[in-house]
Structure 1
Amino acid sequence: MLNAILADDEPIIIKGLKKLIPWGELGITIVGEALTGKSLMEQIEDKLPDLVITDISMPDGSGIDVMKEVQRRQLHTKIIFVSAYQEFSYAKDALAFGAVDYLVKPIEKSLLLEAVSKAMTQLKEANEDLSSKGKLAVYEQKDKKTQLEELFDRLTQGDIRWEEAQRKLQSLNTQFTASCFSVLYVELAHVQLQDGRWGEHEKRLLVFAVSNLADELIQQYGSGLVIRKGENLCVIVNHLGIEDNLQHLASEMRDKISYYLKINVTICIGKPAHSLQELRQSYMSAVETMNYSYFEKEGTILSWYQNERRDGSDHLLADAKLAVMKAVIAKDKQQVQELLGNLFDHAASNANGRKESAVLIVYTMLTDLMEEMSAVGIDLQVSPEQRKDWQQRMHQFYRFRDLTDFISDRIMDILEQVNTAGGSREAQQMKMIKEYIEEHYSENITLESMASQVFMNPYYFSSFFKKHTNENFKQYVTNIRMKNAVRLLLQTDLLVYEIAERVGYHNPRQFSDMFKKSYGKLPQEYKSQIKGN
């Protein structure tokens, strides 16, 4: 295979170039991508590509600069320039320095194919020694395994028609005798990113070692092959359709990788496909199942039916959040820690395999708790910048466990502030007062009766209540009653005098007057208008 690097300061152009022509069928592997001239030159030094297709105008070193450096070092890399600039001088400079061709954006498929073919011809002519001739023979006649890997890669991506895939299978004289195909998706990206042992060279060796190990194990359970998907691996198994066999294969693969390479990998088993036409569905189900690995520990084996977990209950999640808030206000550290475990379980269930949903749920819970503290008079020292930093860090955690540890630490910090806040006792009292009003608004609540509930002098209680709510006590109770009156008016068939009694008014006329004062209309008029709208 020939190696090529694509370079452009616009990622969308690189993406378009990768899809414009069938690189694999031409015997070309894209081994690198670069967005700047400097990055391109570094990759050329590292990978020594046969072909480079690059924009002329790029930051940190133009294409012409790269061309000059390639010639100065006497590298055999062939370069094709592409550019949005149509001035003759650019083309003249490019060709003068030995470029294979110069293409103007938007690039036509036929012109790119012609330029690449020209470059391949030049490469063949430049390599006349025996070893080079042998290499070019490999380029022209790829081995069967490589062709199969490319075909199955396209099948999983869904970018090849089934009729074309059948013709290629027939030309390769390949037959799969077992009834099912399943994809095992092996996660290596996180291992490589997080483990300091792996440099670029070591990473390539790691992928090679895992691929070989997986390839050997497949033969014990059926047949198949291993293809690379970015930094991860896609293991395709042709088997008899027995789920336990796949579980054993995945477990053995994980355990041997751990034993020989000292790393933990997560493996997801895709839904069985009963023909190669369904292989993409198996691949996609394995990839989607990998979302659930966020909620599991490393080294877990997950299967496709993880996607069919039931959504969690919003009601239970809300109850769990409320329980944590009450425990924080009560300054009960042990209870807070116990309740957080329950809350995180509900958060994971409600997220249903989606990392972003999990982050949103726990962050919302944290902000709700801070707002609740503020409402009861505890001013937490958390700046907007600090909140933003929290959000960024929460999105960067690779496992849900790391996220919950971070949230637990933040809540313990809040609990510490509650413990040391001068108004903590008052906060608890206000919490109790509000809860009492919510539960007893239908009764004859007076300022004096409420003051006695919290063992305060009525005059002090009046001042205390106004300080924490910015409302006088009587108006606060009236507002609670009116909100509940509207609820009963719109959601039940109760008569006005029945609603009046239920929200604490024994005189229906007084209730109607108060209602009109609050909402501008009498109860029946209000109901008729809302229903009409």
Structure 2
Amino acid sequence: MEYIKLLIADDEPVILRGLKKLIFWEQLGFRIVGEANDGTELRDLIRKHEPQLIISDISMPGGSGIEVMTELNEQGYNGKVIFISAFQEFGYARQAIHLGALDYLVKPINKNQLERVVEKAALIIREATDVERNKKMLTYYEKINRTSTIEHQLNRLLDGDMNSIGELSQMGVIAISRFTTVCVLEMDEHADSSRWEERERNLVSFALSNIIRETMDQEPNSGKGLLIQREGLFVILVQHEEKEYPLQLAHDLRQKVHRYLKLSVSCGVGKSMTGIEQAEASYCSALKALKNKYFLGLNQVMRYAEPAAGASKDYRFITELQSDLVKALASQEEERILPVMREMLDQIRIQSGDTRNQAITGVYNAVLAINAELEKFGLEVDIHQNALLDKLSDCQTYADVSLVVEAVLSKIQQHLTGKVSGKERTLLTKVKSYIEENYDSSITLESMASLVYMNPYYFSSFFKKHTGQNFKNYVTEVRMSHALKLLIETDLMVYEIADRVGYNNVRHFSDMFKKKHGKVPQEYRQSFRRHES
């Protein structure tokens, strides 16, 4: 049961004690929250407890009941007052009724009379409370319904439905402004946030929404913002005069979320359009800007920019970087490994058109290609392909992808260091580098043995021990690998390719190519191109 708060006041303690014991207040639905002995104390208790009913002596030191009630009326007090007095004075009674007093009782107070007046007060107070509560509930539900309607119409607008503009205009939420810009804000996922329960997520979402609305309300002259949540994003439609305002708003929001919630958020700022009719276009550009967080990093504000002229799809450049990386790994040139790796990843990002899935695929294929090249040296590492793809796909940013690749290369380095060491590693690297750079020339077992100051027989044994292949087959593998690239990536004639990979006899080259790839060069090229198209 919700009790009515009652305050009693009289300068005679015996009257106060009598009022408290005269009737069973709690049975009538009242709870005495304070007792005042004079007008000054009565004012203090009213401010402290905000009682719904006051029973007060009309004449007290420190301010009469009439004076106190006059002050209450001026302050907008909505409670009820019953006056008591030792005298039946018509002037007092008339003044009290004029000020809105509920009744005027003369001492000594009759129990039955007091009960009737108090029951009357309780009925009036509860009816007024119910009316006020109903008004508040009605206002609340009207606000909820209006908010829901606005969100529905905004979703239609962002989907390109122009009919929503009329509905939003009638609701008075569309401003006359020079620009319309859409910003999209997304909470960055972290290890902790991934373990949040739904209740925690809802609380954070509520807090974030409040920060966005309060920030927009603080600068009403700069622009008008409408907020909705859409597909896990906080979408803000900003109607503004200054073109840079949405960018400033996004930076302000990012800083406040970090300061108050200790969270990082990424924000995409769309193109500023000249009319509300172009809200969908601004929204789409904001989504594109937000996608850049994969490459630019988390906790950033990213403004949409028109794509630059497309980079040339020179995939051979990536292949060359892979070869450079293989050489650096094989020769244990540690100072070159990371710079070449970063250059390769940058080029893969460019060739992917800043598209996350294409970038992951490019990096995955590059790592496998590097390991395949090392296999030709007999230095391959067992890479679990599915595990590698899962790690790359789980990376939140491209910087995390770089760390995964760096860890794979570190593993390869450790493997190579344990497999070939000291002088033998240096000699083997020298031989393989020479073959890689001179495969288009005449290379014999004798010339290579001479290069590293070994006799041919010992060199043959040395080479097979450390690579798992005999020397002649290895040279053929290198030449066929380069021949395959030329066949696929160029329009050179077969005899020109044969010459470029060290074969003077085209027939012999074709035979060796068929032995390796199952088809003669021209058939292979035609088959490959049919498959590609």
Normalised-by-shorter TM-score class: 0.5 to 0.7
Q: 5 Å matches for 1:27-66?
A: none
Runs of at least 5 residues in structure 1 that lack an aligned partner in the other structure: 1-127, 521-525
Partner amino acid, structure 2, of 1:420: G
Give the secondary-structure state (helix, strand or coil) at the position aligned to 1:305: coil
The C-alpha deviation readout for 1:280-325, integer Å capped at 9, x for no partner, is 1111111122111012233211111165474475344333333322
SS at match of 1:378: coil
Cα 1:443–1:261 change in 2 (3 A) is closer
Residue 305 of structure 2 is aligned to residue 305 of structure 1: yes
Alignment correspondent of 2:449? 451
Cα distance in 2, alignment partners of residues 142 and 349 from structure 1 = 47
Match of 1:157 in 2: 159
CA contact (8 A) 1:441 1:480 kept: yes
Cα deviation, 1:485-532, whole Å, max 9, x if unaligned, reads: 8969x94579x7x988766577xxxx2553565479xxxxx8998999
In structure 2, distance between residues paired with 1:224 and 1:284: 18
Which digits, 9 at most, give the CA deviation of each residue in 1:75-128, with x for residues without a partner? xxxxxxxxxxxxxxxxxxxxxxxxxxxxxxxxxxxxxxxxxxxxxxxxxxxxx9
Distance 1:366 1:503 in 2: 25
Alignment-derived partner of residue 386 in structure 2: 388
Cross-structure match for 2:324: 323
Matches within 5 A, 1:14-25: none
Q: How does 1:46-195 map to 2 (within 5 A)?
A: 135=137, 139=141, 144-158=146-160, 161-162=161-162, 164-188=163-187, 190=189, 193-194=193-194
TM superposition shift of 1:236: 0.9
CA contact (8 A) 1:218 1:237 kept: no
Q: Secondary structure at the match of 2:238?
A: strand
Residues 492 and 299 of structure 1, relative CA distance in 2, 3 Å threshold:
closer
Task: Provide the secondary structure at the position in 1 that maps to 2:354.
Answer: coil
Query: Per the alignment, in what secondary structure is the counterpart of residue 224 of structure 1?
Result: strand
Secondary structure at the counterpart of residue 272 of structure 1? coil
* Contact 2:379–2:467 (8 Å) recurs in 1: no
Deviating more after overlay: 407-416 vs 436-445: 436-445
SS of corresponding position for 1:151: helix
* 1:391/1:441 CA distance change after superposition, 3 Å: closer
The letter of the residue matching 1:203 is V
| Separation in structure 1 between the aligned mates of residue 272 and residue 317 of structure 2, nearest angstrom | 35
Are the structure 2 counterparts of residues 186 and 372 from structure 1 closer, same or farther at C-alpha, using a change threshold of 3 Å? Answer: same
Spell out, residue by residue over 1:143-173, the C-alpha distance to the aligned partner (whole angstroms, 9 max, x if none): 5454333311221134xx31x2133134324
Q: Give the partner amino acid of 2:151.
A: E
Q: Do the aligned partners of residues 218 and 143 (structure 1) sit closer, same or farther apart at CA in structure 2, a change above 3 Å counting?
A: farther
| One-letter amino acid matched to 1:231 | G
Query: Do the aligned residues in 1 keep the contact of 2:460 with 2:470 (CA within 8 Å)?
Result: yes
- TM-score (normalizing by structure 1): 0.61
**Which letter maps to 2:257?**
I
**Match of 1:514?**
508
Give the corresponding residue for 2:258: 258
CA distance in 1, matches of 2:407, 2:223: 49
Equivalent runs, 1:217-232 vs 2, <5 Å: 219-232=220-233
What residue number does 2:409 align with? 411
Q: Are 1:462 and 2:460 an aligned pair?
A: yes
- Structure-2 residue corresponding to 1:248: 248
Contact 2:295/2:399 (<8 A) preserved: yes
Report deviation, 1:135.
4.3
Q: Once the two structures are superposed, what CA deviation does each residue of 1:329-357 show, in whole Å capped at 9, x if it has no partner?
A: 12233332333333333333333332222
2:180 and 2:237 in contact (8 A); partners too: yes
State the number of aligned residues. 389
SS of 1:347's equivalent in the other structure is helix
Q: Is the 8 A contact 2:188 2:298 kept in 1?
A: no
Name the CA distance, whole Å, in 1 between partners of 2:369 and 2:457: 32
Residues 295 and 138 of structure 1, relative CA distance in 2, 3 Å threshold: same
Q: 1:436 to 1:355 in 2, by over 3 A?
A: same
Q: Secondary structure at the match of 2:235?
A: strand
> In 2, are the aligned partners of 1:250 and 1:301 still within 8 Å (CA)?
yes
Contact 1:311–1:351 under 8 Å retained in 2: no
Residue matched to 1:11? none
Q: Does 1:397 align with 2:395?
A: yes
Provide the secondary structure at the position in 1 that maps to 2:177.
coil
- Aligned-partner SS, 1:186: strand
Task: Write the distance in 2 (CA, Å) between the matches of 1:293 and 1:247.
Answer: 16
Equivalent residue letter for 1:147: T
SS of the equivalent of 1:257 reads helix
- The 8 Å contact of residues 180 and 238 in structure 2, kept in 1 or not, is answered as yes
SS of 1:461's partner is: helix
Q: CA deviation digits over 1:188-238, x for unaligned, max 9?
A: 252682587982453243233333234325624221211112432111111
Helix, strand or coil at the partner of 1:353: coil
**Secondary structure at 2:347 match in 1:** helix
Aligned twin of 1:359: 360
Cα drift, residue 394 of structure 1: 2.4
Could you say if the C-alpha distance between residues 215 and 149 of structure 1 is closer, same or farther in structure 2, counting changes exceeding 3 Å? farther
